[in-house]
Amino acid sequence: MTLARALPILKIALLTLFIVFAILPLVQMTMLSFVVTLSTDDSQIGDLTLANYANIWSDPNLRSAFVNSIAYMLINICITVPVAIPAAYGFSRMSFVGDKQLFFAFIAFRITPPVVLTLPIFQLFSALGVVNSVFGIALAHCLFNLPISIWILQGFISAIPKEVDETAFLDGYSKPRFIWTFLLPQIVPGIAVTAFFCFMFSWVEVVFARILTTTNGKPISMAINALFGFQTDIGLVMAVTVASMIPGAVLLFLMRNHLSRGFRVGTV
């Protein structure tokens, strides 16, 4: 067999191995979520069951954790994206003293570890009375998502020729009307990418949830951690983990076309 004919086979084999390596933990996790891992009066270890998923909704702590995480994500996206769009437009279209320095300061703030800012954020939120609330944690997420959102949207807006703005303004459009009528339809892929990153941060973040909550507002990530103990029900843990992946999978499915276009534009 020649080298030219062996290379495609080698590529397919390596790709297959990678896919198996990536999917195997997910398959094992899903299978365990349907298995009894703690024996009870009605079932023995190893029995197939749907009780693990039923227990998610019957447990008020787990149910509340899911609701809280979804609320973080929705509040985060609804605040961050509308604020980031005009800010990104300003950085893309306007020049002022210190604009580049301010822009990079936003990025530097984003790469700061969240744990470094937990104390000042806790003191500030205590003064505002939003500690131990869903809105407080969502607002903390916005502080970290806003810089990266501005950076992403600024790249998409910069790809649009300035002549589009000038033509619209000559036709009598105000800036808010121009942004709503012309700009937003053209940067939908960028908005999708921004919303995706906001979702990822809010869904898995635990630092602020630990610092800013005591009884209320605990997310699903903390609820999963609380399931581990002296006798851990691994089946329930796997069921909660699988269920926690469903919102992300739904979001990816609904936004798949915009995300694909957005990531392609981002790599140009």
Q: Does residue 190 form part of some domain?
A: yes
pLDDT of residue 131: 81
pLDDT of residue 262: 59
pLDDT of residue 79: 92
User: Domain count of the chain?
Assistant: 1
Q: Give rounded-to-5 percent helix, strand, coil for the chain.
A: 80, 0, 20
Contact 35, 48 (CB under 8 A): yes
Sign for the pseudo-dihedral over CA of 134, 135, 136, 140: positive
Q: Does residue 22 form part of some domain?
A: no
pLDDT digit string, tens, across residues 138-152: 888 888 888 888 888
- Is a pLDDT exceeding 60 seen at residue 265? no
pLDDT of residue 268: 41
- Is a pLDDT exceeding 60 seen at residue 107? yes
The structure's pTM equals: 0.79
pLDDT digit string, tens, across residues 15-54: 888 888 888 888 888 898 888 887 777 777 878 888 888 8
Give the domain extent around 183.
31-267
Q: Does residue 142 form part of some domain?
A: yes
17: Cβ contacts below 8 Å, ≥ 6 apart: none
pLDDT digit string, tens, across residues 63-103: 888 888 888 889 999 999 999 998 888 888 877 777 777 87
Q: Does residue 15 form part of some domain?
A: no
Mean pLDDT of the chain: 82
Average confidence (pLDDT) over 48-62:
86
- Is a pLDDT exceeding 70 seen at residue 4? no
Average confidence (pLDDT) over 238-264:
78
Specify the range with the lowest mean pLDDT, choosing from 54-63, 110-119, 175-184. Answer: 110-119
Residue 258's pLDDT band, with cuts at 50, 70 and 90, is low
Average confidence (pLDDT) over 232-261:
82
| Residue 48 bridge partners (DSSP) | 35
Closest residue by Cα to residue 131 from 142, 140, 139, 122: 122
Q: Does residue 209 form part of some domain?
A: yes
Residue with tokens 């269920």: 243
- Is a pLDDT exceeding 80 seen at residue 112? no
pLDDT above 90: percentage of residues in the chain: 3
Specify the range with the lowest mean pLDDT, choosing from 88-92, 169-173, 211-215, 217-221. Answer: 211-215
Q: Does residue 238 form part of some domain?
A: yes
What per-residue string of b and e applies to 86-99 under the rule 16 or more CB within 10 Å gives b? ebbbebbeeeeeee
Q: Does residue 119 form part of some domain?
A: yes
Q: Does residue 19 form part of some domain?
A: no
pLDDT of residue 267: 43
pLDDT of residue 80: 92
Average confidence (pLDDT) over 160-176:
81
Instruction: For residue 143, give the CATH number of its domain.
Output: 1.10.3720.10
